[in-house]
């Protein structure tokens, strides 16, 4: 009698392992509320430029001393700073007093600071 192994399906990745959730964890040294995972993942996604912007938003929030559990507020800031990727030309934008050219792929180029 020969036995054949049946391969079990690969387990679905846990949403807590998503790069956007892990970025939050890296900055705040805690996980967000479980009920907010899907909102973070849906709005931030997993593109490097979006994750970097999300990291900057989280760091700004932390530095300001605001409540780290206010995910809605953090995502609102993220949306305000996020430039859609379908813009043909770089868009000038001031973020916390620093001037940037935001390129269609989400990368930013420093152009000026308040002291200049």
Closest by Cα among 1, 41, 33, 35 to 17: 41
Confidence grade of residue 60 (pLDDT, cut at 50, 70, 90) = very high
- For 34-56, what is each residue's pLDDT tens digit? 999 999 999 999 899 899 999 99
Find out whether 87 and 79 touch, Cβ atoms under 8 Å. Answer: no
User: How far is residue 30 CA from its own chain's centroid?
Assistant: 15
Question: How far is residue 39's CA from residue 83's CA, in Å, rounded to a whole number?
Answer: 18
Q: What is the reported pTM? A: 0.64
């Amino acid at each position: 009698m020969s036995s054949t192994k049946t391969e079990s399906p690969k387990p679905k990745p846990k949403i807590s392992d998503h790069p956007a959730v892990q970025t939050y964890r890296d900055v705040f040294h805690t996980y967000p509320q479980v009920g907010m995972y899907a909102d973070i993942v849906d709005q931030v996604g997993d593109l490097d430029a979006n994750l970097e912007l999300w990291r900057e938003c989280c760091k700004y929030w932390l530095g300001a001393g605001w409540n780290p559990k206010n995910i809605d507020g953090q995502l609102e800031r993220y949306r305000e700073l996020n430039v859609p990727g379908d813009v043909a030309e770089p868009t000038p934008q001031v973020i916390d007093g620093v001037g940037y050219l935001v390129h269609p792929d989400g990368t930013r180029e420093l152009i000026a600071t308040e002291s200049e």
